[in-house]
Amino acid sequence: MSTPETFMRRAIEISRDKMRADGSAPFGCVIVKDGVIVGEGVNNVVNKHDATSHGEVEAIRDAGQKLKTWDLSGCDLYTTCEPCEMCVASMFWAKISRMYYANTLKDCADIGFKLEPLTTLVRSDLHDRTLPADRVLGAEARAVLDEWAATPGFSPFQ
């Protein structure tokens, strides 16, 4: 029988293997449904030139493709590090049921990885953020939302 430790060992294994093989950052993740790994991912930000290529996001993408759904309810996520805000948001939208983690964000900070600016940015009010934001064509974009909401069988989580 597989245990949380079994799945976390796999996440650690893929993080180490990819780090050694091609210089990926050592952040690995597996997604498990009914005791079976259905998704795997590692941090490939540098190799893919993609700032969203975090281990959790890659594993969610992999699981969604394999299961043919975006709804990962009933799935557990095992990640080698406590996730950043982007990855937490991805887990929310994917409806991940439970998360297991190994390293903490403090462990990353201890080796020089600073996430405080991200945390501050995400938790700030839209117009208090360091990233400037201006609303453009709000009414036109709202019309598209309203059209979508008026379609038969509309569900914001489709």
- Catalytic residue annotation: 56
Helix locations, 23-137, DSSP H: 45-48, 55-67, 85-94, 105-110, 116-123
Contact 15, 27 (CB under 8 A): yes
Residue 61: strand, helix, or coil: helix
Contact 81, 101 (CB under 8 A): yes
Of 135, 84, 73, nearest to 108 (Cα)? 84
Distances (CA, A) of 123 to 53, 72, 127, 129, 130: 22, 26, 11, 9, 11
Determine the angle formed by the axes of helices 55-67 and 85-94, rounding to 10 degrees: 20
**Cα-based angle 18, 20, 21 (whole degrees, multiple of 5):** 60
